[in-house]
C-alpha cells in the first residue's frame, strides 16, 4: 500500500475519551449542585444518653406594660409590681439561662420601663431586650 492511498477499512486503534470526560464533568457539576441543597439537619440520628449532660434550652419571657400601666408576663396578667418580681424570680429559678423581652406601650412613662429593666438586672437576668416597632423613616 502506498502512503497516498488512504483506506477507511483500517481498524481504529485509539480511544476517544472526550465523550467520557464530558459525561464525568456533567455528573460532577450535578453532584456539586445537589450537595448544597441537602439539609444535613434533617438526618435522623439517635443521640447517646449521658447522666451529666444538661439541657441547653434558653427560654424567653415576654414582659408587657400596657398604656394603663398593667403588667403581663408571658401573656398572663400580673396585678402588681411585687407579683411581677415574684413571677420573674420563679421563672429564673426554673431556668437560670432565661432571657426577657420587654414590650411597653409608647405612652408608658420612661420610669416604668427603667423600673422593669432594673428588676430584671437585680434578678441576674443578663440577657434582655426592649421590643420596638421598626419605622420607615
Domains with residue ranges and CATH for the chain: 60-130 (3.30.420.270)
Along the 137 residues of the chain, how does pLDDT read in single tens digits? 555 556 666 677 777 888 888 999 999 888 887 776 665 555 555 566 766 666 556 678 888 888 888 888 888 888 888 888 888 888 888 888 888 888 888 888 888 888 888 988 888 888 888 877 766 66
Distance CA 3, CA 27 (A): 43
- Are 64 and 103 in contact by the 8 Å Cβ rule? The answer is yes
* Buried residues in 61-81 as b, exposed as e (16+ CB within 10 A): bebbbeeeeebebeeeebeee
Task: State residue 111's pLDDT score.
Answer: 84
Q: What does pTM read for this prediction? A: 0.55
Task: State residue 123's pLDDT score.
Answer: 87
The cell for 57 is 434550652
Q: How far is CA 115 from CA 33, 60, 69, 105, in A?
A: 54, 19, 12, 15
Task: State residue 88's pLDDT score.
Answer: 87
The cell for 76 is 398572663
Amino acid at each position: 500500500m502506498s502512503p497516498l492511498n488512504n483506506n477507511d477499512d483500517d481498524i481504529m486503534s485509539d480511544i476517544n475519551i472526550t465523550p467520557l470526560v464530558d459525561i464525568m464533568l456533567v455528573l460532577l457539576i450535578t453532584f456539586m449542585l445537589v450537595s448544597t441543597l441537602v439539609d444535613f439537619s434533617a438526618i435522623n440520628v439517635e443521640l447517646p444518653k449521658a447522666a451529666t449532660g444538661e439541657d441547653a434550652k434558653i427560654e424567653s419571657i415576654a414582659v408587657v406594660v400596657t398604656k394603663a400601666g398593667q403588667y403581663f408576663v408571658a401573656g398572663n396578667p400580673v396585678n402588681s409590681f411585687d407579683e411581677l418580681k415574684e413571677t420573674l424570680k420563679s421563672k429564673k429559678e426554673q431556668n437560670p439561662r432565661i432571657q426577657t423581652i420587654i414590650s411597653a406601650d409608647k405612652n408608658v412613662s420612661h420610669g416604668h420601663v427603667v423600673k422593669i429593666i432594673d428588676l430584671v438586672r437585680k434578678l441576674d437576668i443578663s440577657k434582655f431586650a426592649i421590643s420596638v416597632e421598626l419605622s420607615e423613616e
